[in-house]
Amino acid sequence: MTEREHHEYDVIIIGAGGAGMRAAVEAKQRGLKVALITKSLLGKAHTVMAEGGAAAAMGNVYKEDNWKVHFRDTMRGGKMLNNWRMAQLHAQESPDRIYELEEWGALFDRTKDGKIQQRDFGGHLYARLAHVGDRTGLELIRTMQQRIVSLDVDVYMECKVIRLLTNDDGSVAGAVAYWRPTGEFVTFSAKAVVLATGGVGKSWKFTSNSWESTGDGHAMALWAGAELQEMECIQFHPTGMVWPLSVRGILVTEGVRGDGGVLRNSEGKRFMFDYVADMFRAETAESEDEADRWYDDHSAGRRPPELLPRDEVARSINSEVKAGRGSPHGGVYLDIASRRSAEFIRRRLPSMYHQFMELAGVDITREPMEIGPTCHYIMGGVRVDAETAASCVPGLYAAGEASAGMHGSNRLGGNSLSDLLVFGRRAGMAASDYAESKASVSINEAQVSDYIAEALAPLERENGENPYAIQHDLQELMQANVGIIRKEDELVEALEHLEVLKERVKNVSATGGVSYNPGWNLATDLPSMITVSICAAQGALNRRESRGGQTREDFPKADPELGKINFVQRQTQGAGYLNPISVSPEPLAEMPDELKVLFEEAK
């Protein structure tokens, strides 16, 4: 065998989205040797898809806003399943993280007095989202990317990490990866590893996620001995495009509703007024008049029901379509054309305007959009310590969508971008602390050659199965059985089918060579896709209630007892793709009294 490329680092960060880049900045500023590894090009990560904004209680538009209100909104949006400490840290620190971006060159939209402008979003009591039109994620990623470049962080682009490497004591030792352009393998030894690999949405058929969202970080963490939780809590964004079929799932920003867009069924009715849950009744408008007054002055009326948290809206749309009041292509209408001027729409929502114009031939300044729920975000992920983002594997950290706890069972729009920054930084700090405390590490060659052999197997196997066929079957299965509404028998069936798919992956074969071969690349993604799918289905089966991103047709109500429990998944009988995953209920950390008071006051 020819000599393999090898690098030694203090901290490696896997994933170059917002969280990964923020972690890299933190570690690099500490003077450590840092590598940022991404399976795409730098600046292409899924963070660019975030549209609406980054939630931070800066109080630039409504002085009444502060971290306590933001904290309360976040916890209630997450149906109290959140790790309270994470939600608190997030609410307290996000304004500083946003201001920091400005020092690095970000250009947010401004208020009249020159402060950062903030916009309304679902579930947030006050206008709170710092934004740049409807391309806030792009602004965030570009700002971080330029910061990374100016700090001269080593970036490994189009380099896919396949497995984490561990020491005999179970602590993390590094990672093994391959370069997608050449197919050559490369190893990294690292004192600390930060996982910032994003989500899992590619296992579903209709998703706003890109090919990258294969749950690599979730799966690799599990295989390395870490724990996952809330894997059943998957957010279906209420407004994805539904037509043409080929663009089904592409996101339509919540900003459309924040800026005045309303949802109507085929009868033209604003149906959201019929779906206001008790928890939100006190603060939601009762009539269209009241709701319309609110847009201009939040004290003149209560919030429109279109701005309820995403899980509520997605479920309502689903019910309308099921009741036969959907649009021709199986969605409902999102109408801003009749409510705002064309000039306003083009200025506030430029990329939505272009997206519909170019992909669907729909002019959103004249016609309503057809939309429906799309798989968008996983609240679950690696179980981490709130302060440090540390997993139970020494030296392994997780931030962003790959980690769990922050968002509970349902994430509020705008909280992901600020989550990335707050916990990306914290993960970077803690990983640096850990790396500084450690002497050098070495990697286990036996592990490395096993993993490389495993990754190369599909290329050596002949007449095996087409990886695209397996991916297709997986997506169909997850969409049908572990979709927005779930049932006991369907979940059991899904788990049975997933076992079959797991076996089929063993027989997958890829044609062609190692250089930039998407078929082979997909074959190496399949194990993580199937692992996270199993976790999601298992979690959904165990959580016998409806809460946030978990909706059970057979258990339509939230169960107060289950609201105090996390379903934690781990591999107890040996770690690795083929080994079983166990699920165990574990109690949620209890909120201190001074925070509990906040929820009493609101009632």
Partner 1 sequence: MSDITMRVWRGDQNGGAFENYVMPKVEGEVILDVIHRIQATTAPDLAVRWNCKAGKCGSCSAEINGKPRLLCMTRVDQLPEGEPVTVTPMRTFPVIRDLATDVSFNFEMARKVPAFNPIPKPEEGYRMQQIDVERGQEFRKCIECFMCQDVCHVIRDHEENKPKYAGPRFFIRYAELEMHPLDTNDRRELVREKMGLGMCNITKCCTEVCPEHIKITDNAIIPLKERVVDADFDPVAWLGRKILRRTKRTSEEAAVQPD
Can you give the C-alpha Rg of the chain in angstroms? 23
* Closer Cβ to partner 1, 40 or 166, answer by number: 40
Give least dist CB 466 to partner 1, A. Answer: 6
| 174 and 441 Cβ atoms separated by less than 8 Å | yes
| Distance, CA of 196 to CA of 396 (rounded, Å) | 11
| 122 and 55 Cβ atoms separated by less than 8 Å | no
Give least dist CB 246 to partner 1, A. Answer: 4
Name the burial class of residue 223, with classes exposed (0-12), middle (13-18) and buried (19+) by CB atoms within 10 angstroms of its CB.
buried
| CA neighbor of 78 nearest in space, from 484, 86, 50 | 86
Q: Which helix (H) or strand (E) holds 256?
A: helix 255-258
* Closer Cβ to partner 1, 98 or 568, answer by number: 98
Give least dist CB 50 to partner 1, A. Answer: 10
Q: How many CB atoms lie within 10 A of CB 360?
A: 19
Q: Which helix (H) or strand (E) holds 130?
A: strand 129-130
Give least dist CB 292 to partner 1, A. Answer: 26
Give least dist CB 59 to partner 1, A. Answer: 12
* Closer Cβ to partner 1, 292 or 465, answer by number: 465
Give least dist CB 31 to partner 1, A. Answer: 18
* Closer Cβ to partner 1, 58 or 443, answer by number: 58
* Closer Cβ to partner 1, 112 or 603, answer by number: 112
Amino acid at 124: H
* Closer Cβ to partner 1, 114 or 324, answer by number: 114
Could you write out the DSSP letters of every residue in 469-497?
Answer: HHHHHHHHHHHHHSSSSB-HHHHHHHHHH
| 6 and 176 Cβ atoms separated by less than 8 Å | no
| Distance, CA of 182 to CA of 517 (rounded, Å) | 9
**Strands in 431-590 per DSSP E:** 565-570, 582-587
State the residue for tokens 């020491």.
Answer: 167
| Distance, CA of 73 to CA of 524 (rounded, Å) | 40
The DSSP secondary-structure symbol of 522 reads H
Omega within 30 of 0 (cis) for the link into 244: yes
* Closer Cβ to partner 1, 104 or 599, answer by number: 104
Length of the chain: 603
| Distance, CA of 386 to CA of 391 (rounded, Å) | 10
* Closer Cβ to partner 1, 110 or 544, answer by number: 110
**Six-digit token pair at 68?**
């306590």
* Closer Cβ to partner 1, 111 or 341, answer by number: 111
| CA neighbor of 333 nearest in space, from 351, 350, 320 | 320
Q: Is 44 helix (H, G, I), strand (E, B) or coil?
A: coil
End-to-end CA distance of the chain: 68
Q: Contact positions toward partner 1, by CB under 8 A?
A: 40-44, 46, 48-49, 99, 102-105, 107-110, 113-115, 117, 132-133, 135, 138-139, 142, 146, 149-150, 152, 155, 157, 181, 210-212, 243-247, 250-251, 351, 354-355, 358-360, 466-469, 472, 510-513, 515-520, 522
| CA neighbor of 176 nearest in space, from 524, 476, 479 | 524
* Closer Cβ to partner 1, 103 or 289, answer by number: 103
Give least dist CB 201 to partner 1, A. Answer: 12
| 45 and 212 Cβ atoms separated by less than 8 Å | yes
**Six-digit token pair at 88?**
């608190």
Give least dist CB 29 to partner 1, A. Answer: 14
The DSSP secondary-structure symbol of 555 reads B
| 194 and 23 Cβ atoms separated by less than 8 Å | yes
**Six-digit token pair at 323?**
């009741």
Name the burial class of residue 437, with classes exposed (0-12), middle (13-18) and buried (19+) by CB atoms within 10 angstroms of its CB.
exposed
577: CB partners within 8 A, 6+ apart: 219, 223, 502, 527, 531
| 507 and 465 Cβ atoms separated by less than 8 Å | yes
What residues act catalytically?
237, 257
* Closer Cβ to partner 1, 168 or 462, answer by number: 462
